[in-house]
Structure 1
Amino acid sequence: MPEPTLIGSVQRALRLLEAVAASEEAVTAKHLARIVGLPLPTAYHLLRTLVFEGYLSKTGDGYLLGPAASQRQRSSLQQMLPRVRPVLRSLRDELGGATYLSIYDHGEIRLVDIADGPSAPAVDLWVGVHESGHATAFGKAILAGLTQDQRADYIDRHDLFDLTPNTITNRGALERSLKTTPTVWSDSEEYLLGTSCLATTISAGETVGAIAVSLPSHRPVTHAQAVILQRATRRLSRIMNASIITI
């Protein structure tokens, strides 16, 4: 069978797109040209085309994924679940608690998947996830990853319900806490008495999400738990980036 005819410029553009998707920050044209192995003028030409078509966005710091690369996010999320679930299950087994993947989707926090089990039961979500972002670790991890305007819009549209005596119900206090950007976000019995939660923010192109684990509140939080959670976050970021740029 004869080998197919391949268009080299399309292949090079895809390599640039993949390189941008693999980065959590904006990437300069010079850096992209170097890691993809292209002359800088060629890289600039391809990047301009990708920006024009909406697959990349140009900022003062470099290039990010554009809206056209993210427009199929919902179907891509369903397609990526077979790759996400092993990460959630592995994290559940390592930390001994149910694990959760959530994303910010069209102005709301949405729970995508849960990995639980007999020895790691999921939290009874007695208040909807979309209404309790202020009281959950994964909600705060997502809110902290949004732009200031997006965060203000979410808080404007949602009451800060008093779910337990520990819930943050003051808008100013919540906004101040979201600016602290810790390595790992937590809630200590803020959503449900007897349960604590740890979470980290996931950034994949223009998508903001979070991975979390729920644990009995009497269990101490350790540095080892944070390291394991961050490792899972990096794996999920790669999976989500790869799914988002499926075109």
Structure 2
Amino acid sequence: MMTASHDHTLIASVQRAVQLVDIVANAARPTPVKVLAQASGLSLGTTYNIVRTLVHEGYLSREPDGLVLGDHFPSLRSRDDEGVVLARVRGTLRRVTTELGATAYFSRFSEGEVNVIDIVDAPRNPRVELWVGIDHSAHATALGKQILTELDADGRLDYLSRHPLAQLTRHTISDLPTLLNQLERRPSSAIDTEEYAIGCTCIAVPVRAPGVVASLAVSLASDLKPVDTEPLVRRLQTFAGKLSLQLGAERFGQFTI
């Protein structure tokens, strides 16, 4: 139990700052200041003042859709915390979107499921409307296929046995042997052309780090020519390599650029 003397030594403003950082660190999505104020019970004015200081000191970072952890804070927590992953991923997705002019996606395999962790929209090529959840469409999306490629044969079959190959468009591969053959032929990148949504092509590459099975992807209009996909894949692989390092691959010598 905390004694009265100990209580007198606590600094309220520091407690509030730590509380705000902890909320952001455990959030799966960027957190707007208003949401942060509601979650913490602090007034909006107080929250804004504390956030301004935390951003200045590098413990939080502003994104267009809210706050994520800043450069200084991730080193203090487990690399696998949702907030840490989001903080490391968001900057790379933003750079992909800026350079390639395409909406960027980061997906991860966790607890037996494929999950979309973050998306950054490109104004001229907005995100594909996710009308079917990724848990029912990994076989029809490049970002899902790339993750399936990274699993071993048993893991791949286990996942596909639990998720029927729904025919989402006339281009969707819903035949298991055909899908498995395609996955084995393209280990370093994946593509779907109108398999998830008519008018859209998605390209994905792997992101590899200890304990991480993930993919980095972009979506573009389906009039993209095959010859144009090769330079896109190379650029995505460069971004994915840097992201792999950020997520911990350098500690084990698993990835070099």
Structure 2 contact 190–204 (Cα < 8 Å) conserved:
yes
Query: Which of 112, 119, 123 is the aligned partner of 2:124?
Result: 119
Query: For the structure 1 residues 133 and 218, does the alpha-carbon distance in structure 2 shift closer, same or farther, using more than 3 Å as the test?
Result: same
Q: How far apart in 2 are the matches of 1:113 and 1:244?
A: 24
Q: How far apart in 2 are the matches of 1:126 and 1:204?
A: 30
Query: For the structure 1 residues 244 and 138, does the alpha-carbon distance in structure 2 shift closer, same or farther, using more than 3 Å as the test?
Result: farther
Query: Which of 212, 236, 239 is the aligned partner of 1:232?
Result: 239
Query: Which of 200, 204, 223 is the aligned partner of 2:230?
Result: 223
The answer to whether residue 135 in structure 2 is matched with residue 130 in structure 1 is yes
Report the alpha carbon displacement of residue 181 of structure 1 after superposing the two structures with TM. 2.8
Query: Which of 90, 102, 109 is the aligned partner of 1:85?
Result: 90
The answer to whether residue 212 in structure 2 is matched with residue 207 in structure 1 is yes
Report the alpha carbon displacement of residue 88 of structure 1 after superposing the two structures with TM. 0.5
Query: For the structure 1 residues 164 and 78, does the alpha-carbon distance in structure 2 shift closer, same or farther, using more than 3 Å as the test?
Result: same
The answer to whether residue 173 in structure 2 is matched with residue 168 in structure 1 is yes
Q: How far apart in 2 are the matches of 1:172 and 1:73?
A: 39
The 3-state SS of whatever aligns with 2:169 is: coil
Report the alpha carbon displacement of residue 81 of structure 1 after superposing the two structures with TM. 1.9
TM-score w.r.t. length of structure 1: 0.66
Report the alpha carbon displacement of residue 117 of structure 1 after superposing the two structures with TM. 3.5
Q: How far apart in 1 are the matches of 2:79 and 2:92?
A: 20
Report the alpha carbon displacement of residue 242 of structure 1 after superposing the two structures with TM. 6.3
Structure 1 contact 80–239 (Cα < 8 Å) conserved:
no
How does 1:13-28 map onto structure 2 within 5 Å?
A: none
The 3-state SS of whatever aligns with 1:169 is: coil
For structure 1, the 5+ residue unaligned runs are: 1-71
Match of 1:146 in 2: 151
The answer to whether residue 194 in structure 2 is matched with residue 189 in structure 1 is yes
Q: How far apart in 1 are the matches of 2:163 and 2:189?
A: 24
Report the alpha carbon displacement of residue 75 of structure 1 after superposing the two structures with TM. 4.8
Q: Tell me how large the CA RMSD over aligned residues is.
A: 2.1
Q: Which has the higher contact order (CA 8 A, sep 6+)?
A: 1
TM-score w.r.t. length of structure 2: 0.63
Report the alpha carbon displacement of residue 222 of structure 1 after superposing the two structures with TM. 3.2
Q: Which amino acid aligns with 2:243?
A: L
For structure 2, the 5+ residue unaligned runs are: 1-76, 253-257
Q: Which amino acid aligns with 1:157?
A: R
**Displaced runs of 4+ in structure 1, greater than 3 A?**
72-75, 242-245
The 3-state SS of whatever aligns with 1:192 is: coil
Match of 1:241 in 2: 248
Size of the alignment, in residue pairs?
174
Residues 34-92 of structure 1 deviation map (CA, whole Å, 9 limit, x = unaligned): xxxxxxxxxxxxxxxxxxxxxxxxxxxxxxxxxxxxxx978523213222211101111
Q: How far apart in 2 are the matches of 1:156 and 1:194?
A: 29
Q: How far apart in 1 are the matches of 2:78 and 2:162?
A: 24
